[in-house]
Amino acid sequence: MSRPLSDQERRKQISIRGIVGAENVAELKRGFNRHLHFTLVKDRNVATPRDYFFALAHTVRDHLVGRWIRTQQHYYERDPKVGGGSLASAACFLDSMATLGLAAYGYGIRYEYGIFNQKIRDGWQVEEADDWLRHGNPWEKARPEYMLPVHFYGRVEHSGTGAKWVDTQVVLALPYDTPVPGYMNNTVNTMRLWSARAPNDFNLRDFNVGDYIQAVLDRNLAENISRVLYPNDNFFEGKELRLKQEYFVVAATLQDILRRFKASKFGGTDSVRTVFDSFPDQVAIQLNDTHPAMAIPELMRIFVDIEKLPWNKAWDITKRTFAYTNHTVLPEALERWPVDLVEKLLPRHLQIIYEINQRHLDHIASLFPADVDRLRRMSLIEEGGTKRINMAHLCIVGSHAVNGVAKIHSEIVRTQVFQDFAELEPEKFQNKTNGITPRRWLLLCNPGLAELIAEKIGEDYVRDLSQLAKLHDFVDDDLFIREVAKVKQENKVKFALYLEKEYKVKINPSSMFDVHVKRIHEYKRQLMNCLHIITMYNRIKRDPTKLFVPRTVIIGGKAAPGYHMAKMIIKLINAVAQVVNNDPVVGSKLKVIFLENYRVSLAEKVIPATDLSEQISTAGTEASGTGNMKFMLNGALTIGTMDGANVEMAEEAGEENLFIFGMRVEDVAELDREGYDAQQYYDRLPELKQAVDQIKSGFFSSNEPDLFKDVVNMLFHHDRFKVFADYEAYVKCQEKVSELYLNSKAWTKMVIRNIAAAGKFSSDRTIKEYARDIWHVEPSDLKIPPPNEPREVAEDGTPNGTEARA
């Protein structure tokens, strides 16, 4: 009898089988050994983990190449849709689009340095460069044959033949392609990332030595465009380099899309198409937030200035091509570019935006005569002080569909943030609730649970997550309850060992793993969690003999480098952890860990081990969230507000199967009308007062008693997210959590109900909705034949000779 597979071996087998098919695993092993042999110059026995990773990555990529080529041939010859240029698209969506057989392309920038690596030193966040390309990237392939020019600066000449953008500075966009395999369907889509390169257009003879050196150095200025990712999420910084990045990616991408459109066959006989009437029928471009908004005036520039289309026709095609997804309602996050900056960097685009705005306002004025205030509210140009372009307004006016990413978020977008636009074109506004891919966020990261589910309901749920509803039949199955609890405990033991090794803190694996991992931001209210930790600490100290449900509180996330308050929150959490973890009275009852450098690979470890998922943003501030879905799918229970996708999670599972607390959106609005007074909560709630006083007095910072004065001042006088208002309800809800945790069987039954209700939150469902409602294409059941079979052979749900729409 063969030994059982380890979790690591199961993970590897599941993921490889999903990518290449079970019949090809032996072939992969041979390829792996070959790559390892050729890439190593030393004895195999001393190979590093990186050596093995690169050998495996090259092996899998080699195996995918034939499928990759065949997929692109299939799209070129058969499918009506050129593909969705889904700019900056989420990884889960790319996975789903490939799995659903959609002819889709993800575009972005190939940043040399990604989001920073976070180090915690003396409790403070310190940023280090993420030089992720230092050792190369085995998955990507450079495509210099598709390098494209992108223009900046210059001036505009107008003549009888139209406008011409001249005297520009050129930067080249070099594409790097990464394969995106679908699950068990031989489809391999493409993610194309652009890298900035300076052109070699200076002649050495024209320079003296000094000018030549300077010319070489100036190349760096051009290539800085793809040097580093701006880390300030949810906060708009009007930097010239950032605007260059945003235009760089859309200019290169639109040229690429137009090249593909002109070259594609679609049953036609022309080698190159120059008629654009069918463009919106063949191309759908989803603007993922406002960062790619410059694609709208850029496509108009191409159609009007280069292809010589009449304005009205170009505008009709442009509007029918673009759709816009809004991702935030926080006012400080909305992009508003200074007109002066756009005029300098992209002079022709500013003229086009002015023309779009004038026609837009003329239309509004015809519908609402003399309503000057409405014109001001709906204009693309904000007057007063520095004139700015409202990029969200540009996206709405230039798109045929606008969506939020959760029901409650889409409602806020429609009725509050963009109310005037929704009243004008109500049919344009939709909801598309976010989702996650179960391939990564269950099969890969939690193979024990994935296997257990497959034993009960079969393996088809991997492609149809709604089948998880079948688990409702096993909620009262004692054996299944024990097995689910056992998988969770195994994951916790594994993660506890990891924490002990990394943080030198002894973790009780039987304690409740209470996890709050996400970007550090005031609206996500890590501060409220911190106040609860202090409250628990004080309760233990007050009566050490009283029954206390042991907890390991795990908080993680990065603060934007320039976000002072977020960095202070990290320091406070670490200061509290230092006191709690070293208090002998507390012992193993309460431990606090701040996870350093939270990232996807760490999420894959912590999420399967989590008991309680913290989703506690102020109602009306979180667009959707996807971490909440990942935790739900992996058997964690949720404590949360009625915000973002939490609302729909409660609808699916039943509100009684989540720990819901606190103000609703209407309560927050009412409190805003009345005026939020933090002092009254502090005066009324003794435990809150004690916790705040400890922070204020230096109890957690004895060497620097005033260290957290900015945090305390904010909580009392500048807290837009009303931490004190929800504190009491949060603490009481946490008491219910502890009470249920004491009853292991009841807890696990609630876990099973949550997993069974998680089917809606698959990114496959989300992408099907985008495809049908916005892109007007149908997902395909077609299984493209592998390279060793004739291309005519296909497993398709369509009759012979019928083209599958993708």
What is the phi-psi region of residue 561: left when phi exceeds 0, alpha when psi lies from -120 to 50, beta otherwise? Answer: alpha
In the structure encoding, which two tokens stand for residue 297, read together? 């005036």
Q: Which helix (H) or strand (E) holds 576?
A: helix 564-581
Q: Are strands 162-166 and 155-159 parallel, antiparallel or unpaired?
A: antiparallel
- Per-residue pLDDT for 503 more than 90? yes
* Residue 760 among the catalytic residues: no
Residue 86, pLDDT score: 45
**CA dihedral of 402, 405, 411, 414, whole degrees rounded to 10:** -20
Residue 87, pLDDT score: 40
- 37-51, 163-177, 458-472 — which is least confidently predicted? 37-51
In the structure, what pLDDT confidence band is assigned to residue 216 with cuts at 50, 70 and 90?
A: confident
Which residues make beta-bridge pairs with 120? 125
* Residue 626 among the catalytic residues: yes
What is the phi-psi region of residue 787: left when phi exceeds 0, alpha when psi lies from -120 to 50, beta otherwise? Answer: alpha
Q: How far apart are CA 277 and CA 316, in angstroms?
A: 10
Residue 247, pLDDT score: 98
Mean predicted confidence (pLDDT) in 345-370? 98
pLDDT per residue over 748-757, tens digit each?
A: 999 999 999 9
- Per-residue pLDDT for 67 more than 60? yes
Residue 801, pLDDT score: 29
* Residue 344 among the catalytic residues: no
Q: How far apart are CA 242 and CA 192, in angstroms?
A: 20
In the structure encoding, which two tokens stand for residue 472, read together? 């409702």
- Per-residue pLDDT for 180 more than 90? yes
Residue 662, pLDDT score: 98
- 50-64, 131-145, 316-330, 663-677 — which is least confidently predicted? 50-64
Mean predicted confidence (pLDDT) in 681-701? 98
- Per-residue pLDDT for 248 more than 70? yes
Q: Are strands 429-431 and 402-404 parallel, antiparallel or unpaired?
A: parallel
Mean pLDDT value across the chain:
91
Residue 220, pLDDT score: 83
Mean predicted confidence (pLDDT) in 559-584? 97
Q: How far apart are CA 111 and CA 94, in angstroms?
A: 19
In the structure encoding, which two tokens stand for residue 499, read together? 């924490």
Of the listed 58, 301, 327, 349, which one is catalytic? 327
- Per-residue pLDDT for 437 more than 90? yes
- Give the rounded percent of residues in the chain with a pLDDT score beyond 70: 90
Q: How far apart are CA 541 and CA 548, in angstroms?
A: 11
* Residue 567 among the catalytic residues: no
- Per-residue pLDDT for 51 more than 90? no
Residue 797, pLDDT score: 43
pLDDT per residue over 783-801, tens digit each?
A: 888 888 887 655 544 332 2
Of the listed 336, 388, 439, 519, which one is catalytic? 519
Residue 258, pLDDT score: 95
Residue with tokens 């607390």: 661
Which residues make beta-bridge pairs with 513? 552
CB count within 10 Å of CB 124 equals 12
Residue with tokens 């806020």: 412
- Per-residue pLDDT for 238 more than 90? no
In the structure, what pLDDT confidence band is assigned to residue 195 with cuts at 50, 70 and 90?
A: very high
Q: How far apart are CA 76 and CA 82, in angstroms?
A: 8
Sequence-separated (6 or more) residues with CB below 8 Å from residue 173: 147, 148, 149, 150, 194, 195, 196, 197, 248, 251, 252
Residue 74, pLDDT score: 86
pLDDT per residue over 605-634, tens digit each?
A: 999 999 999 999 999 999 999 999 999 999
**CA-based end-to-end distance of the chain:** 46
Residue 798, pLDDT score: 39
- Per-residue pLDDT for 693 more than 90? yes
Q: How far apart are CA 333 and CA 653, in angstroms?
A: 32
In the structure, what pLDDT confidence band is assigned to residue 55 with cuts at 50, 70 and 90?
A: confident
Collapsing DSSP states into helix, strand and coil, what is residue 403?
strand
In the structure encoding, which two tokens stand for residue 756, read together? 């069974």
pLDDT per residue over 7-45, tens digit each?
A: 555 555 555 555 555 556 777 777 777 777 666 555 667
Q: How far apart are CA 295 and CA 607, in angstroms?
A: 37
In the structure, what pLDDT confidence band is assigned to residue 802 with cuts at 50, 70 and 90?
A: very low
Residue 164, pLDDT score: 97
Buried b (16+ CB within 10 A) or exposed e, 720-731: ebbbbbbbbebb
Q: How far apart are CA 296 and CA 392, in angstroms?
A: 12
**CA dihedral of 365, 370, 376, 378, whole degrees rounded to 10:** -40
Q: How far is CA 789 from CA 106, 783, 785, in A?
A: 28, 12, 6
Report DSSP state, residue 803: P
- Per-residue pLDDT for 278 more than 70? yes
Indicate the pTM of the whole model.
0.93
- Per-residue pLDDT for 244 more than 60? yes
Mean predicted confidence (pLDDT) in 350-374? 97
In the structure, what pLDDT confidence band is assigned to residue 289 with cuts at 50, 70 and 90?
A: very high
Of the listed 11, 291, 432, 524, which one is catalytic? 524
- Per-residue pLDDT for 79 more than 70? yes
Long-range contacts: 676-684, Cβ < 8 Å, 24+?
676/719, 676/722, 676/725, 678/715, 678/716, 678/717, 678/719, 678/722, 678/724, 678/725, 679/716, 681/724, 681/725, 681/727, 681/728, 682/716, 682/724
* Residue 518 among the catalytic residues: yes
Helices (H) and strands (E) in the chain, counts: 30, 23
Long-range contacts: 411-420, Cβ < 8 Å, 24+?
412/329, 412/620, 412/665, 413/326, 413/329, 416/329, 417/326, 417/329, 418/326, 418/392, 420/374, 420/377, 420/378
* Residue 783 among the catalytic residues: no
Sequence-separated (6 or more) residues with CB below 8 Å from residue 197: 147, 171, 172, 173, 174, 222, 223
Amino acid at 219: R
The distance from CA 512 to its chain's CA centroid, rounded to whole angstroms, is: 28
In the structure encoding, which two tokens stand for residue 231, read together? 């880390």
Burial class (CB in 10 A: 0-12, 13-18, 19+), 758: buried
- 5-19, 341-355, 661-675 — which is least confidently predicted? 5-19
Closest CA to 354 of 316, 397, 402, 292: 397
φ, ψ at 497 (rounded to 5°)? -65, -40
Burial class (CB in 10 A: 0-12, 13-18, 19+), 735: exposed
